[in-house]
Chain A
């Protein structure tokens, strides 16, 4: 077990696309253990993606169980995840272990349907919403070289858009 070093922007490696996992072996499971430990070592981290620790494979861990009173699945290891359905939109505030000292508002789908393998290679399906769905979308973005900075919306015109209708 080990806490891995987290890449921080402007490290260009955070902007690359990660490749799918092909072998579900002990080495993969050891890495998942380290990745989870790294996530839990960060202050307030509810998710982490493998490229954040310089392993460019499509592996994500999410655990939002520290948040009380929301619908969630607990600890999730999501390998080769694919979002198959999106529904609704909501704005929420995000930060990232790879982008210290900055948070901003990002629009995400409110509900998603997701297929992903666990660390033993078994394919599963999930339906999730709200905070957990947001965390999963944030982490899957990392697999495609996207940071929340790529999706920022202005807090100024977040709720009331100023328009003239005439």
Chain B
């Protein structure tokens, strides 16, 4: 892959109703337009397909808009482009993984993440889902993060959350390098 180091990085966001071939069509347009991909996240959220991609491109945001605009429109995707600073090869290692679940109710995410943030958790990755049934929804969340103030502080924070009927488990992530 040849790319000029003066190339700029953009965060490209695409959201729309899920349909077959979205990823293939979007990535083909980017490839043919001379783009290079960094880290990406693509997933289906409740029937919508969401894409966030770090894209390296020689031209302007407007130029990139033209590279993907056509395919986005034909797939019914809303497109958003932001210039960003890229920090590749700078992964931070999670040292803790937290799973939370409970009857879904307003404020559960705010409550849990608020308590954890106060106890020094830097979130590196979070995803949550609503399981169960429409009548009795169950909220499920996974977090990977860095315990900036140590694991015991997070355990105390989770203890408070547990007293409110939310199930929470914490596992230390001990990365093996071999």
Residues of A within 8 A of B (CB): 42-49, 62, 67, 92-97, 100-103, 131, 134-135, 138-139, 155-156, 158-160, 162
A131-B174, A158-B142 given; 15 more Cβ-contact pairs under 8 Å: A48-B178, A49-B178, A62-B178, A93-B175, A95-B175, A95-B177, A96-B177, A101-B89, A134-B176, A138-B178, A139-B178, A155-B125, A155-B144, A160-B99, A160-B101
CB neighbours of A155 from chain B (8 A): 125, 142, 144
CB neighbours of B177 from chain A (8 A): 42-46, 94-97
A114 to chain B, nearest CB (A): 15
Contact A102 B91 (CB under 8 A): yes
Residues of B within 8 A of A (CB): 89-91, 93-94, 99, 101, 125, 127, 129, 131, 140, 142, 144, 173-178
CB neighbours of A96 from chain B (8 A): 177-178
Contact A156 B127 (CB under 8 A): yes
Contact A95 B176 (CB under 8 A): yes
Q: Can you pick out 24 interface pairs between chain A and chain B where the beta carbons lie within 8 Å of each other?
A: A42-B177, A46-B176, A46-B177, A46-B178, A47-B176, A48-B178, A93-B174, A93-B176, A94-B175, A94-B177, A94-B178, A95-B175, A96-B177, A96-B178, A103-B91, A131-B176, A135-B178, A138-B176, A138-B178, A155-B125, A155-B142, A160-B99, A160-B140, A162-B131
